[in-house]
Amino acid sequence: MRTAHTLVAALVLMVGAAHADTVQVAVAANFAGPVKQIAADFEQATGHKTVVSTGATGKFYAQIVNGAPFDVLLSADDKTPAKLEQEGHAQAGTRFTYAIGRLVLWSPKPGVVDGEGAVLKTGDFRHLSLANPKVAPYGQAAVETLQAQGTYDRLSPRFVLGENIAQAHQFVASGNAELGFVALSQVTKDGKITEGSAWVVPLSMHAPIRQDAAVLAKGKDNPAAAAFLDFLKGDKAKAVIRSFGYDLP
């Protein structure tokens, strides 16, 4: 009897494996933390496998246009997926906003950043880290914030530009810059900033960071690609997204 049960269990596993697919997901660097947890939950729930690559949205765009083997894009903006759709590189009708990003001025040291961002006006620091605004939407939001505050021209010589928001955060965490603009998700756990001092930038100071996802042309016939986006819309994924400090549409 035990042998029969073992055989049935093995057959079930084989059938499940036969229907499992792998989805290649290009993910904006700010979402690296949430996607790690979401991908693990997705794999457990569906049996599909995920291969996640993180980086700057602008660089992903160039790679996708040039034939990179991604099935799904989780962008840091809404413009890039829309552009890819218009150009035939993303599947029409799959695009949606999965998160609204929040920008934060952060230092790992207590007392460096005040709750109103006045440190940017006093200028008591040598280096300010931010993601390259040419390729990273969070970097563009940082520029817009400084322009709204009237400090951009004075502070731009102090910029330390990261290739993406992950590198911008690394510059601050390592002490190469005393403070910097990072994604709230990078310094948040369970809805609370984990260390240091921070100013969460008001939404009124920059254009909304609407982060859109889409199935790319390569993933059109991959069941795991559609399944991954369906999972991203579900309550379990939304709870993870909220816990990292994102707003939901």
Q: Are residues 73 and 19 in the same domain?
A: yes
DSSP letter at 217? G
Check residue 1 and give its pLDDT.
47
Check residue 19 and give its pLDDT.
65
Check residue 222 and give its pLDDT.
98
Task: Supply the pTM of this predicted model.
Answer: 0.84
175 by Cβ neighbours in 10 Å (0-12 / 13-18 / 19+) ranks as exposed
Q: Are residues 129 and 193 in the same domain?
A: yes
In a domain, 66, yes or no: yes
CATH number for 173: 3.40.190.10
Q: Are 22 and 52 in contact (CB under 8 A)?
A: no
Q: Are residues 84 and 120 in the same domain?
A: no
Q: CA 214, CA 233: separation in Å to the nearest integer?
A: 12
Check residue 138 and give its pLDDT.
95
In a domain, 248, yes or no: no
Query: Which pair of structure tokens corresponds to residue 43?
Result: 């794999």
Mean pLDDT by 10 residues, the chain (249 residues): 46 50 96 96 98 94 97 97 98 97 97 96 95 93 98 97 95 97 92 92 96 97 98 97 93
85: Cβ–Cβ under 8 A, 6 or more apart, which residues? 91, 92, 95, 214
Looking at the 3D structure of the chain, how many domains does it have?
Answer: 2
